[in-house]
Structure 1
Amino acid sequence: MDTAQLSVLVNADAEQVWLMLREPARIAQWHGWEMEGLDDEIRQIYYDNVTESPDHLRLDLGRGDAFILTPHQDGTLVTLNRGTATGEWARYDTDITEGWSIFLQQLKFKLARHPHTPRRTVYVDGTSAAHTHLWDALGIDTGWLPDPGEPYGITLTTGDTLSGKVWYRTDTQLGLTVADYAEHGDGLLILAQQARVPGLREHPGAQVIASTFGLGAADLEKISTQWDTFMETHYPDA
Structure 2
Amino acid sequence: MTEAPDQTREDHVLVEVTVPAPAHAVWAALRDPQKIKDWFGWDADTLKDEIDFIFVTHAEADEARRTVTFVGVNDRYEVEATGATTSLVRVVRSAPAGDWSDVFDGMIEGWISFTWQLAFAFARHPGQTRRTLFFSGPPRADRLARSLLGLDAAPAPGERWAMPLGPDDGASGEVWFLARHQTGVTVDAWGDGLLVVVDQPPTGKNPRGTTMMTLTTYGLGEAALAELQTRWQGWWDERFETVAPGCD
Whether these two folds match at TM > 0.5 is yes
Aligned letter for 1:98? E
Structure exhibiting the larger radius of gyration computed from Cα positions: 2
1:196-211 equivalent positions in 2, closer than 5 A: 196-198=202-204, 201=206, 203-211=208-216
State the identity as a percent: 31
Amino acid at match of 1:191: V
> Within 5 Å, which residues of 2 pair with 1:44-55?
44-55=53-64
Q: Is 1:172 aligned to residue 178 of structure 2?
A: no
Partner of 2:132: 121
Is the 8 Å Cα contact of residues 13 and 92 (structure 2) preserved in structure 1?
yes
Question: So what's the TM-score if we normalise by structure 2?
Answer: 0.83
Determine the structure 2 residue equivalent to 1:88. Answer: none
2:74 aligns with 64
Shift of 1:124: 1.0
Question: 225, 230, 235: which one pairs with 1:225?
Answer: 230
Specify which of 79, 83, 91 is matched with residue 80 of structure 1: 91
Q: 2:45 aligns with which of 36, 39, 59?
A: 36
Q: How many residues align?
A: 225
Q: How far off its partner does 1:4 sit?
A: 4.7
Letter in 1 for 2:80: T
For residues 129 and 237 of structure 1, do their structure 2 counterparts lie closer, same or farther at Cα, with a shift above 3 Å needed? farther
Counterpart contact for 2:139–2:209, Cα < 8 Å: yes
Post-superposition offset of 1:176: 0.8
Q: Does 1:98 align with 2:95?
A: no
Change in CA separation of 1:108 and 1:237 when aligned onto 2, cut-off 3 Å: closer
Aligned amino acid, residue 34 of structure 2: A
**Unaligned residue ranges in structure 2 (runs of 5+):** 1-10, 97-103, 244-248
Question: CA–CA distance in 2 between the matches of 1:168 and 1:17?
Answer: 19
Q: What residue is the counterpart of 2:200 in the other structure?
A: 194
* Alignment partner, residue 16 of structure 2: 7
Which of 214, 217, 220 does residue 212 from structure 1 map onto?
A: 217
1:161 is matched with: 170
1:112 aligns with 2:123: yes
Residue 231 of structure 1, CA deviation? 1.5
Query: Which residue identity lines up with residue 219 of structure 1 in the other structure?
Result: A
Q: 1:171 to 1:235 in 2, by over 3 A?
A: same
Per-residue deviation, 1:83:
4.4
Q: Which amino acid aligns with 1:71?
A: A
Q: Do structure 1's residue 133 and structure 2's residue 144 form an aligned pair?
A: yes
Q: Which residue of 1 aligns with 2:5?
A: none
Q: Distance in 2 between matches of 1:222 and 1:216?
A: 10
Gaps of 5+ in 1: 86-92
Contact (CA 8 Å) 1:188, 1:210: kept in 2 or not? Answer: yes
| Higher share in helix | 1
Kindly provide the amino acid, as one letter, of the partner of residue 156 in structure 1.
L
Q: TM-score, structure 1 length as denominator?
A: 0.86
CA distance in 2, matches of 1:159, 1:69: 36
* Matched position secondary structure for 1:135: helix
Give the structure 1 partner of residue 7 of structure 2: none
Give the Cα–Cα distance (whole angstroms) in 2 for the partners of residues 216 and 152 of structure 1: 25
Q: How far apart in 2 are the matches of 1:217 and 1:160? A: 22
Structure 2 residue aligned with 1:23: 32
Q: Distance in 2 between matches of 1:173 and 1:12?
A: 25
> Displacement of 1:120 after TM fit?
0.5
Residue pair 1:137, 1:234 contacting (<8 A) in 2 also? no
2:81 partner amino acid: P
